Amino acid sequence: MSDATAPVASCPPEHAAMGHCVPASAAMPAGHGADHQAAMPEMPGMSMEGMGAAAIGAGGCSPEHAAMGHCQAAPVTGEAVVGNAPPPSPPTSRAADRYYDPAVMAAADRRMRMEHGGMRFSQILFNLAELQVRDGRDGYRWDGEGWFGGDVDRLVVKSEGEGTLGGSIGEAEVQALYARAIDPYWNLQAGVRQDVGQGARRTYAVVGVEGLAPYWFDVEGALFLSDRGDVLARAEAWVDQRITQRAILQPRVEVNLAAQDVPDQRIAAGVSDIELGLRLRYEIAREFAPYVGVSWERRYGPAGGGGAALALGIRTWF
């Protein structure tokens, strides 16, 4: 093996640090080490050897000094340990308590906490409120809901129905539901539904889901169990396609299904009816938007029939 102290033209710093070689640029002529040592002032009470040992113990051995053989770099033992101390407890005293009535401060504190996460909201929305112009059977239709509550728990009231102009209300219903958020986009719902239109006025237990699907589709689905044991289901979806900042095109689909025939309501097992709609609205204000569109409906079973209709209405919320 070659002399480790002989200068080597190709001596990487890591080899030099292990004493295997001396870089050519770091080679010193005879007597240079003594001159270099003499040129460096010693700290009082500490020799040059002591300074080198202190530098090594303090982890102060730079790669350049290690390459010159002045010290040995400390080995890398792993990543730095991140602190895991528990967070400090929140303060329980307020400086303003020294100058204001404690009861007034407690009320202000409750109001602040409510406005920063414990607030209650409400909204009433009619997605459909329209006249339907058909060949000799003009009518009207509505589909809306209102809710009150917070970010997680809400009371929801839904209603939808239809009728003929100059006549009585045909099919109509009202639902009272408790809604519970299961993530930022979806709510589980459960409650009761009451039919209030013509025909058999049944009462149903309801369980369903409502939320925002990918690509901004509003989706609703529900199962209904009547007081006679009838099982029905409904699924509907729509999406707002913004054409301009105020003009919005809304495609919509609704499907109703039944697990069995319900003769007194003229419902056949399977798919009982399908509705497809396309409505173009103009938002005079965000809360008030008249629209025009077309609706196509197909009913199956004893209540078979359907057809297309021109829809003229207003979408509104407050």
Which structure tokens are listed for 309? 């209709």
**pLDDT at res. 36:** 45
Using CA atoms, how far residue 133 sits from 101, 170, 255, in Å, is 65, 16, 21
**Half-sphere CA count of 81, side-chain side, radius 13 A:** 4
**Distance from chain centroid for Cα 83:** 30
- pTM for the model: 0.66
**pLDDT at res. 201:** 86
Amino acid at 49: E
Parse the chain into domains and list their residue ranges.
Answer: 121-317
Question: Could you read off the pLDDT of 23-82 as tens digits, one per residue?
Answer: 665 544 444 444 444 444 444 444 444 444 444 444 456 767 667 777 776 665 555 566
**Domain 121-317, CATH homologous superfamily name and number:** monomeric porin ompg (2.40.160.40)
Neighbours of 130 (CB within 10 A): 26
What is the residue-wise DSSP string for 187-225?
A: EEEEEEEEE-SSS---EEEEEEEEEEEGGGEEEEEEEEE
Which residues in the chain land under pLDDT 50? 1-2, 4, 27-59
**pLDDT at res. 231:** 97
